[in-house]
Amino acid sequence: MHEPHRSGDAARERLGFLSEAEIIALSRLGILSPDPGSVLVSGDVRLAEDVVLWPNVILQISAGGRITIGPGTNLFPGTRIVASGGSVTVGAGAEIGEEGGFTLKAGAGETIDIGDGARLLGGGSLTLSNRIGRGAQILGPIRCQNCLLGDGGTYRDPEPDARGGVLKGSGVARGIEVPQGHVIQAFGLFAEAVMRRQSYFHPKG
């Protein structure tokens, strides 16, 4: 009956992941994982209180990388964060991976910084170095490389032009910078798209 668990834990250990029992034990630190058998977390990952690890989340460190997840952050099903010699830092109250998962990969010398209250959804990815500011959003299957989204309020902020920078749509975003209150919507190359105020998409009255 328990042989699959033993062999599974042996594979986890060989790959540097916590055992299923160790994932369950994270609840003592206030970290929630409703399906611990489907979650893979490297032993050196730093998780703050009230982080939620939904099913099929992978947090993987290798080659001296670092992953830090701030308090109250939700990592939704299909989220994969890999620090292979690089650093990934996620602030408090972020939402990553809803509506199709999300992938963050930081290689040697690369840094991915996700601010408090940021939201990344829809199956996109971050590779190389990126800074996604407080309240900023990536909405859709967008491949982001070396992007900078400005700090601001979250998507719940009643004033659209006070929210963090936004990328929405699908395609490739390389070296894109979006300041507070602005958005680029594209279906292809974001470098060729127009930047607009967020109030353009969310007019009042």
Residue 105 within any structural domain of the chain:
yes
Collect all residues with Cβ–Cβ distance below 8 Å to 132 and sequence separation of at least 6.
112, 113, 114, 115, 118, 120, 126, 138, 147, 149, 164
Check residue 5 and give its pLDDT: 63
| pLDDT tens, residue by residue, 127-140 | 999 999 999 999 99
Residue 64 within any structural domain of the chain:
yes
In the chain, the number of structural domains is 1
Check residue 6 and give its pLDDT: 67
Q: What is the CATH number of the domain that holds 34?
A: 2.160.10.10
Check residue 1 and give its pLDDT: 39
Range of the domain at 192: 3-200
Residue 77 within any structural domain of the chain:
yes
| pLDDT tens, residue by residue, 70-109 | 999 999 999 999 999 999 999 999 999 999 999 999 999 9
Residue 140 within any structural domain of the chain:
yes
Which residue is associated with the tokens 């292809």?
Answer: 188
Check residue 142 and give its pLDDT: 98
| Intervals of the chain under pLDDT 70 | 1-7, 205
Check residue 120 and give its pLDDT: 98
Residue 205 within any structural domain of the chain:
no
Collect all residues with Cβ–Cβ distance below 8 Å to 143 and sequence separation of at least 6.
124, 125, 127, 171, 172, 173
